[in-house]
Each structure stands twice: as structure tokens, then as C-alpha cells.
Amino acid sequence: MGFSVTLYDHLFTHVATRIDPERAHHLGFRAVRLGAPALRAAHAMLGTTGSPVEAMGIRFPHVLGLAAGFDKNAVGIDALGSLGFGHVEIGTVTGLAQPGNPQPRLFRLPADGAVLNRMGFNNDGAHAVAERLRRRAARAPGADAPVLGVNIGKSKVVPDDDQAAVEADYETSARLLSPYADYLVVNVSSPNTPGLRNLQAVEKLQPLLEHVRRVADAATGDRRVPLLVKIAPDLADEDVDAVADMALAGRRDDVLDGVIATNTTISRAGLSTPAEDVEALGAGGVSGRPLTARSCEVVRRLRERIGDRGTSGLTLIGVGGITTVDDARERLDAGADLLQGYTSFVYEGPGWPRRIVRGLED
């Protein structure tokens, strides 16, 4: 493992950092997909890593999954699972296909172990992704396939102040994608779609979640798909409390099953990268190590507010700045039931998920 880490570090430093980050992502993801059969064979010989976790009525192979944003279009779910992720969250998928924001829109901040992005929900749209998931389901990916989360968001052209239009837009994605999802996530927290974060206000969020719940239930029949909401780290503490209270009410009404905390931050506080360099990159959300403290704090505040999972019935998924085994343990100690990563996967390489899971077992 030491050799592979050194090799990845060398490739990342001397090759990947000289390529546009978005292009490097596509090349790396293609390599993962091409190498998946060999990875599956190797891991079958090594055996399963991690202890199963029960959450939302689902048996997760272990606590660590891949956050939304890496596989936006459901093109490599099982290949990513072969790297050691116990669950893979695809998306964010929108009702309408959209190109996202103009390039360049993805930037590395190596001094901070961070990424700045303003992708803008670039994706193929719910109809195309649903067809891809239908074909995957027909192939019967097998018992070792990762748990599949589907993250849905608002199409850019839909105005956030038109509640009926917003609900209709999310309805398209929920109706088409729920039948293939092990769990569904309503994303109202990306900073890169104008007006999206306004939907985090409880008076807008609650009816939206209730509508998505009804649509998902109608689309899946007897199989109830767990529903979560993903929130931003930039919420004020009183707004985090309001989300917690709404989540508890939603759990009692059989609407909501959990909260994912947190998405990227618009804050630039505490970065080691020179301020003028960061400013030159422009707008976007920061992910990675700068999120560690605040994301952990939000998880802890949510858990204290909602109580333990056995009492509340709510699942908390901690994401944001989880780089080391100690980070992962701290997030679990703060009250997370499951964990997700993305930026550390980019910086640490394909061996990262198994190192985290193995470290937690040790």
C-alpha cells in the first residue's frame, strides 16, 4: 500500500496538477471504470473490509460512502464501489439537462487540501440518468454492489420564488429516479445555482420535502425510499436548529429519514492560499479540509437537537473535510451514523476509502 500511495502522490503532483482539474477528473474517472474488473477480483481475494451498518432500513456494508458530485450522471456506480465505497451517491441530477456554468469552473487549492467549484449542476437530466439506472438494474449488479443514493436538485431555469414551479421541477426527478434509488436526497444547499439556498428556509423546504415524499411514494409503490435533505455549513446555528426541528416533525409525519451535513461553503475564512489568488478564481463553494471543523460542529448540533437515532429515527450523514481516520472518528463521535467523502478521495487517491474503513476497524 505504501508504494501505491507514493505512486499516486507522484502522479498527482507531477501529472494531474498540470492538467485542468475538470479534465483530470474525467480522465481519472475513466481509469477507475476501466480498472474496475481487476479491482473487484483483487478485493474478492482480500475479503470484505468494514462492519455493516443499519440505517434507514438499509444495510450498508460499512460507514463510508462517496458524496454526490463525483458521478453526476450514474456512469460508474459499481466501479466506484469496487474502490471500497460502501455507498455511492450520484448527482446532483436536475429535472432538465443542463451544461452548468462556463469553464473553467473547478480549481484546486493544494495548500488547503481543498477544491473550489462552481460547476452549477452540470448533468444529463433526470430522463437520461433514469434510463442509465434502468439499464444497470436490468444487469442485476449483484449483492456486492454499493448502496445507491440519488441526489436531486433544482434546474437553473426554474425560479426559486415560484414554489409550484420548484416542486414540479423536483417532481420530475423524484418520479423518474426514485424507483432505482436505495435512498433519495433533496439538495437545497449548493451555492452554484442561483437562489437554491433560499429553499433551505423551513417555510419553503417543508412543503417541498412533503411533495417529493408523495411523488416518491407514488413512483415506488410498496417500497418506501428513504428521503434525506442536504444542508449547507453556512447556515446560522438557529437555522440549523430549525432544520433539526423540521426534520423531527418530518420523521413523525413519515416524510423525512435523515439529514446530510454538509455541502460546500462560500466562506473563504482561514485559507492558507493567498487571498488574492482565491479571489482571482472567483465564486464557488469550497470543499475539503477547510470544512472539517464547521461540518463536524453542524453534525454535533443536529445530533444534540434531534437526539439519538434510536429515539428520533433520523439518520445523520457527515460529509465535509474528512481526510484522516481521526477525522472520521471525530465525525462519528459527533453523532454521524454514516460518512461521505469526495475531496480527500481526489487528493489521497484510490486507496483512500479502504484506508479509512480499515483504520476505523482497527
Name the residues annotated as catalytic.
190
Please indicate if the annotation marks 343 as binding a ligand.
yes
Please indicate if the annotation marks 156 as binding a ligand.
no
Q: Distance between terminal CA atoms of the chain? A: 16
Please indicate if the annotation marks 151 as binding a ligand.
yes
As a whole number of angstroms, the distance between CA 260 and CA 118 comes to 20
Please indicate if the annotation marks 192 as binding a ligand.
yes
64, HSE (Cβ side, Cα atoms, 13 Å): 30
Please indicate if the annotation marks 144 as binding a ligand.
no
Residue 283 DSSP one-character state: S
Please indicate if the annotation marks 230 as binding a ligand.
yes
Strand partners, 114: 109, 288
Please indicate if the annotation marks 9 as binding a ligand.
no
Please indicate if the annotation marks 187 as binding a ligand.
yes
Please indicate if the annotation marks 263 as binding a ligand.
yes
Please indicate if the annotation marks 73 as binding a ligand.
no
- Residue identified by cell 436536475 is 94
Please indicate if the annotation marks 315 as binding a ligand.
no
Dihedral of the alpha carbons of 58, 67, 80, 117, in degrees to the nearest 10: 170
Q: Are strands 183-187 and 315-319 parallel, antiparallel or unpaired?
A: unpaired
Please indicate if the annotation marks 121 as binding a ligand.
yes
Q: Are strands 87-94 and 64-66 parallel, antiparallel or unpaired?
A: parallel
Strand partners, 109: 114
CA angle in degrees (0–180, nearest 5) for 68-72-76? 95
- Residue identified by cell 453526476 is 72
Please indicate if the annotation marks 262 as binding a ligand.
yes
CA angle in degrees (0–180, nearest 5) for 52-216-299? 50
Please indicate if the annotation marks 265 as binding a ligand.
no
In 3D, which of 90, 87, 79, 89 has the Cα closest to residue 60?
87
As a whole number of angstroms, the distance between CA 152 and CA 133 comes to 14
Please indicate if the annotation marks 153 as binding a ligand.
no
Integer CA distances (angstroms), 221 to 69, 138, 213, in order: 28, 19, 12
Please indicate if the annotation marks 311 as binding a ligand.
no
Q: Return binding residues for substrate.
A: 72, 117-121, 187, 192, 263-264
Q: Which residues are annotated as a binding site?
A: 68-72, 92, 117-121, 151, 187, 192, 230, 262-264, 288, 321, 342-343
Binding site for FMN, by residue number, is: 68-72, 92, 151, 187, 230, 262, 288, 321, 342-343
